[in-house]
């Protein structure tokens, strides 16, 4: 079972990772975007950390919905709506629950990624966060369905996420601000894919630490 504290720890670890990589994410975005991805993400998750104590004692669905709403209101650009959607869709699976089964955790992540695809109209190969999130949740689902425990399944998903992040480098962007560059977007790692990798990595660290 995945506890409310583990889910809270996921938020803490992701926020810390965003803070640590703020300059790097901004540098990546400066090459093909608005140059503010790290700044915006750090602003949003700093606010999440301020609000996190208020979610203590609430069910996991309320926690995730609160995180999603905070990101929607505090993160600029496309990142706020997309990450906000991920957590809010996940919250529907976790509504009223203080613990999640492995299947519920995976279902929540899948729901979140589907929500991102729907909101951003993004598919694989378009140089976006979907190039990380979709393969990693598919790998996670396959590992769990094959009988793997959640921790090793998440570790496998992290590797897939890392591969997906690096795979964005040779891609030409066809979505978002980066698409305006056309062929000049080739050769740059996508900043959204990079923060998405940090998201999966933080989830693994939070679950596997306990």
Q: What is the mean pLDDT of residues 134-139?
A: 97
Q: What is the mean pLDDT of residues 7-15?
A: 97
132 neighbors 165 (Cβ within 8 angstroms): yes
Residue range 45-64, pLDDT digits in tens: 999 999 999 988 899 999 99
- Looking at residue 120, what is its pLDDT? 81
Residue 176 in this model has a pLDDT that exceeds 80: no
Q: What is the mean pLDDT of residues 137-158?
A: 96
- Looking at residue 210, what is its pLDDT? 65
Buried/exposed 42-52: b ≥16 CB within 10 Å, e otherwise: bbbbebbeeeb
Q: Evaluate whether the domain defined by 2-208 bears CATH number 3.60.40.10.
A: no
Residue written as token pair 């609000």: 51
Percentage, residues of the chain above pLDDT 70: 99
Identify the H or E element spanning 200: helix 191-208
Residue 175 in this model has a pLDDT that exceeds 80: no
Residue range 188-202, pLDDT digits in tens: 999 999 999 999 999
- Looking at residue 177, what is its pLDDT? 73
Residues whose CB falls within 8 Å of the CB of residue 53, separated by 6 or more in sequence, listed in order? none
CA separation for the pair 124, 131 (Å, rounded): 5
Residue 89 in this model has a pLDDT that exceeds 70: yes
Residues whose CB falls within 8 Å of the CB of residue 138, separated by 6 or more in sequence, listed in order? 160
Nearest to 132 by CA among 57, 43, 197, 189: 197
pLDDT band for position 30 (cuts 50, 70, 90): very high
pLDDT band for position 98 (cuts 50, 70, 90): very high
Mean pLDDT of the chain: 94
């Amino acid at each position: 079972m995945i506890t409310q504290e583990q889910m809270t720890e996921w938020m803490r670890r992701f926020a810390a990772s965003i803070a640590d990589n703020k300059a790097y994410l901004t540098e990546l975005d400066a090459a093909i975007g608005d140059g503010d991805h790290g700044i915006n993400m750090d602003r949003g998750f700093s606010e999440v950390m301020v609000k996190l104590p208020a979610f203590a004692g609430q069910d996991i669905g309320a926690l995730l919905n609160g995180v999603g709403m905070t990101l929607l209101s505090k993160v600029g650009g496309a990142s706020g709506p997309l990450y906000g959607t991920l957590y809010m869709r996940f919250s529907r699976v976790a509504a009223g629950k203080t613990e999640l089964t492995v299947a519920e955790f995976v279902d929540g992540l899948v729901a979140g990624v589907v929500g991102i695809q729907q909101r951003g109209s993004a598919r694989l190969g378009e140089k976006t966060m979907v190039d990380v999130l979709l393969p990693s949740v598919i790998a996670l689902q396959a590992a769990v369905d094959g009988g793997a425990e959640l921790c090793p399944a998440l570790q496998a998903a992290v590797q897939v996420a890392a591969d997906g992040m690096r795979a964005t480098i040779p891609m030409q962007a066809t979505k978002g601000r980066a698409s305006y560059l056309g062929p000049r977007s080739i050769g740059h790692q996508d900043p959204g894919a990079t923060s998405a990798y940090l998201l999966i990595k933080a989830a693994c660290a939070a679950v596997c630490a306990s």
